[in-house]
A and B are shown apart, each in its own frame.
Chain A
Amino acid sequence: MTGDTGGRPLIELEGIAKHFGEGETRVEALRGITLAVGPGEVVGLLGPSGSGKTTLLNVIGCVLEPSAGRMVLDGETVYDGRWTRRDLRQLRLRKIGFVFQFHNLLPFLDSTDNVALVLDLAGLPVAEARRRANELLDYLEVGHRRHAFPAALSGGEAQRVAIARALANRPRIILADEPTAALDSSRARVVVDLLRRLAVEQRAAILVVTHDEKIYDRFDRIFHLRDGALEVERPLTRSRRKS
């Protein structure tokens, strides 16, 4: 079951390859990746260490240039043998939200401003940005920590603030690299359920890299990476569906 919408996929990769180095030191990090993720979908990306998960996320996040293939994000061809779009930064700002393994909040801004920053960068007046940020924090149930600096937040709180930041510009694509690694299993589930809720509500495509078996059952689909190549997609046996 691929989301609940017809619509065209938000992430489309066709034969994406990425290698590092040349000759002796050449590493084929990704080989011929073809996949599609539609709106409202939460997809897990699994694989052993070194299999290319982070590399794939970087490619989709437009921070790493693929070596070959074709990539279409939200209907826009972004890579086709070369970057077709000059302003990747704007693209990242408007369309992609990142959630990191380590929350990567800016230590010198409080929760509100960490979230408000991306709205500010997108051109919203500061007061409006802060108002929206606080709404998001409330929605993620960390509103009571809005004035706290990241150093004073617990792992789960920090991760939720980071998710709020990833969502602030209502991106259609959310990429998360081991977002639950720093959390205990019950909180990890809460985070993934939250992402799931967002996927549905904001009609976003969400790709989550994880090692965490306890949350496998929370994904709509799971991609398995091995040595840079996608293994056959395994259908999930889910005990229950929410959406």
Chain B
Amino acid sequence: MNLAYRDIRHHRGRFLLTCLGLGLLLAVVLSMLGIYRGLVADALTLVRAPAVDVWVVESGTRGPFAEASRIPGDTREAIARLHGVAAAGSLTYQSVETRHRGRRLRLQVVGYEPGRPGGPPRIVEGRPIARSHYEMIADRASGLLPGDRVRLGRNIFTVVGLTENLVSSGGDPVVHLTLRDSQELQFELAPSAARRQMARGTAPGSTDFVNAVVVRTRPEIAPERVAETIRRWRRLSALTRAEQERVLTRSVVDKARKQIGFFTTLLLVVSAVIIALIIYTMTMDKLREIATLKLIGAPDRTIVGLVLQQALAMGILGYTFGALLILAVADHFPRRVILRPEDGLGLGIAVFLVCLLASGLGVRLALSVDPAAALRG
């Protein structure tokens, strides 16, 4: 006769409600873990997308993501001639805001040279950019579809293809334009004074600026060697892919990561305390029954089993509710939520251990009950 099960069955309404509550709490913990993973992944997608080995940026900066960087448009040609460089491409980055179907749309615009490194990594729908002007590749996250027309600056762009999971570290969906179009857009959106200067040619150079040049090295040459060479040039600085990712993680992600990490830890602690409290109260509610069991001669094993099995049943059921819930809603979050099996497993084990520990408390309480308590009125 399994007493734990019989007791649960007798109070199934209350028990299920408790599990549901615990499930909601665990769903929040799981979603925090997912948000955290999503944040880290999002922050790095833009760096990883071009799949390049070296980033060339303005000297003295750690651009183009962590700091602003502006280098002359002809840099790419010089870099491409370097020993060990297989391919190079110019890139621009800027944020723009526009309206589409009455909705405000913030976009991260990436300008690239079709046919050179730096373009969209994978087109999941539609086609790549084929014409030199007014075509764009948008990310699904923007809600744009092939054929949609969007105004950016003075011009109207037609969406020809879609990418997936490409957002800026701020979560804005990425759109790709040709380098020429994006430079024009940068010029249009610059403050008017700077624009006049640039048009007159009195500002340093013309409108032909880019934010970074990305380099794919030959397989037999270490990217670090190419970066070394570039660093010797006066006006340029170079970061390998690993350095760039580190810079970005430190500057952009770390605070947010610590914030979320701290909050997740807090949530875990709160859940642990709540689980412990529930189990303790569940035992408190049964002290009289436990005293009776002891009096009629039930062995400690029966009493420990009662507390432990109920605690574990609650943990398992609560966790299952939580996991199902988060799986059902993960895709509806405005930003990416990445549910990794190892995170789920980790939390599962944590819940299991907390239940075990908390039932330790309950068991101590239960075993300390005086069987004579059952005889008192």
Q: Nearest residue in A to B377 (C-beta to C-beta)? A: A101
Which residues of A are found within 8 Å of B7, using beta-carbon distances?
A: 108
Tell me whether A206 is interfacial, beta carbon within 8 Å. no
Known: A54-B376, A57-B375, A63-B372. A113 touches B6 (CB 8 A): yes
Main secondary structure of the interface of B (DSSP, over half): helix
Contact pattern, A 86-122, Cβ under 8 Å of B = 1, otherwise 0: 0001111110001011101011110001001110110
**Given known A64-B372, A113-B6, A116-B1, contact A104–B288 (CB-CB < 8 A):** yes
Does B357 make an interface contact (CB < 8 A)?
no
Contact present for B296 and A63 (CB under 8 Å): no
- The proximity string for B residues 1-38 relative to A, scoring 1 for CB distances below 8 Å and 0 otherwise, is 10100110111000000000000000000000000000
Shortest A7–chain B CB gap in Å is 24
> Which stretch in B89-97, B297-305, B312-320, B328-336 binds the other chain?
B297-305
Q: Please name all residues of chain B whose beta carbon is closer than 8 Å to the beta carbon of A57 when the two chains form the complex.
A: 375
- For B11, give the chain A residue with the smallest CB separation: A108
B371 partner residues in chain A, CB cutoff 8 A = 63, 92
Query: A52 to B296, alpha carbons, bound, how many Å?
Result: 22
Q: Which residues of B contact A108 (CB under 8 A)?
A: 3, 6-7, 9-11, 289
In whole angstroms, how far apart are the Cα atoms of A242 and B292 in the complex?
33
Q: Is B140 an interface residue (CB 8 A)?
A: no
Q: Tell me the A47-94 residues at the B interface (CB within 8 Å).
A: 54, 57-58, 61, 63-64, 89-94
A113: nearest chain-B partner, CB-CB: B1
Given A58-B372, A63-B372, A108-B9, residue A102 in contact with residue B377 (CB < 8 A): yes
Q: Which B residues are in CB contact (< 8 Å) with A93?
A: 296-298
**Minimum distance in angstroms from B369 CB to a CB of chain A:** 11
Residues A117 and B370 in contact, CB atoms below 8 Å apart: no
Q: Is the CB–CB distance between B299 and A121 below 8 Å? A: yes
A126 near B: Cβ within 8 Å?
yes
Name A's interface SS: helix
How far apart are A116's CB and chain B's nearest CB, in angstroms?
7
| Chain A residue at minimal CB-CB distance from B294 | A89
List chain B residues, Cβ under 8 A from A149: 10
Q: Is A165 an interface residue (CB 8 A)?
A: yes
Interface presence of B198 (CB below 8 A) = no
- Inter-subunit contact B374/A104 (CB<8 Å): yes
A118 touches B6 (CB 8 A): no
CB-contact partner of B370 in A61, A63, A92, A120, under 8 A = A63
**B247 contacts partner chain A, Cβ-Cβ < 8 Å:** no
Q: B295 at the A/B interface (Cβ < 8 Å)?
A: yes
Cβ contact within 8 Å between B6 and A63:
no
The answer for the CA separation of A235 and B204 in the assembled complex, in Å, is 124
Q: Give the chain B neighbours of A120 by CB distance below 8 A.
A: 1
**Contact between B296 and A92, CB atoms less than 8 A apart:** yes
Contact B372 A98 (CB under 8 A): no
Whether a CB of chain B sits under 8 angstroms from the CB of A157 is no
User: B302 to nearest A CB, angstroms?
Assistant: 7
Instruction: Say yes or no: B6 contacts A104, CB within 8 Å.
Output: no
A177 within 8 A of B: yes
CA distance A107 to B292 in the complex (A): 11
Q: Cβ of B297 and Cβ of A117 under 8 Å apart? A: no
Complex-state Cα separation, A235 to B9, whole angstroms:
52
- Contact of A63 (CB < 8 Å), options: B1, B288, B375, B377: B375
* Chain A interfacial positions (CB closer than 8 Å to B): 54, 57-58, 61, 63-64, 89-94, 98, 100-102, 104, 106-109, 113, 116-118, 120-121, 126, 129, 149, 165, 177
Q: List 14 A-B contacts (CB under 8 A).
A: A54-B375, A57-B375, A58-B372, A63-B370, A64-B372, A89-B299, A92-B295, A93-B297, A101-B375, A102-B377, A106-B3, A108-B10, A109-B1, A113-B6
Those 3 A-B pairs whose CB atoms lie nearest each other, nearest first:
A93-B297, A108-B10, A92-B297
Given contacts A116-B1, A118-B296, 20 further A-B contacts (CB under 8 A): A54-B376, A63-B295, A90-B297, A91-B297, A98-B295, A100-B292, A100-B374, A106-B3, A106-B292, A107-B10, A108-B7, A109-B3, A113-B1, A117-B296, A120-B1, A121-B296, A121-B297, A121-B299, A129-B1, A149-B10
